[in-house]
């Protein structure tokens, strides 16, 4: 089983900026979302010591994973292959500006893979599916994974063997956890109990 989490909201998320593999800190809401994920996972996992937490090393995923880990009393391992897609020259740019300059992207479901100097769909699917293939088989697999929006698409797609057009149509919530078990993917709602002040 895998519990897949996306990092909490960042300042770049809030501003509509493209992060890719650049850094942006969690907002107060993002920290509350990370705490809510930790609470939900604590309610779902009876024996945390049997589980491993693996996260992207990018700071927003690292901080989210460490919040979850503190709640469960577990260490965090970091894996570069779980990092977000590189958006190359579009890094740190406002998403609306990029789309205004490239109108054809507005109707392109794969627009995030079109950045000059960035990664393609095949690049990121290759690294994420390669990592997944190395993990223990079910039912021995007990992983909590903290990754990103598009990398999360890829992990769910690789797990379920989804066709490309379904992968790029998946959602990327920061207030939910996905349970990957028995070949199925289940979305578990996970809103913070209270909005931060």
Q: Which residues are catalytically annotated?
A: 7, 84
CB 142 within 8 A of CB 51: yes
Q: Is the dihedral of CA 130, 150, 169, 135 positive or negative?
A: positive
User: Would you call 118 helix, strand, or coil by DSSP?
Assistant: coil
What pairing do the DSSP bridges indicate for beta strands 184-189 and 2-6?
A: unpaired
What pairing do the DSSP bridges indicate for beta strands 176-181 and 2-6?
A: antiparallel
How far apart CA 140 and CA 7 sit, in angstroms, is 25
């Amino acid at each position: 089983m895998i519990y897949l989490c996306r990092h909490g909201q960042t300042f770049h998320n809030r501003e509509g900026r493209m992060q890719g593999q650049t850094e942006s800190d969690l907002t107060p809401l993002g920290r509350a979302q990370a705490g809510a994920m930790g609470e939900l996972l604590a309610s779902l996992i009876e024996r945390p010591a049997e589980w491993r937490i693996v996260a992207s090393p990018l700071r927003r995923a690292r901080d989210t994973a460490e919040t979850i880990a503190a709640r469960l009393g577990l260490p965090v391992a970091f894996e570069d292959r779980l990092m977000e897609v590189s958006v190359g020259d579009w890094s740190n740019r406002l998403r609306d500006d990029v789309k205004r300059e490239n109108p054809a992207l507005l109707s392109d479901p794969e627009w995030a893979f079109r950045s000059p100097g960035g990664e393609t769909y095949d690049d990121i699917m290759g690294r994420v599916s390669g990592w997944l293939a190395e993990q223990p088989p079910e039912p021995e697999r007990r992983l909590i994974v903290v990754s990103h929006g598009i990398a999360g698409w890829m992990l769910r797609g690789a797990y379920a063997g989804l066709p490309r057009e379904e992968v790029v149509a998946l959602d990327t919530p920061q207030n939910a956890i996905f349970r990957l078990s028995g070949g199925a993917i289940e979305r578990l709602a996970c809103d913070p109990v209270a909005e931060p002040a």
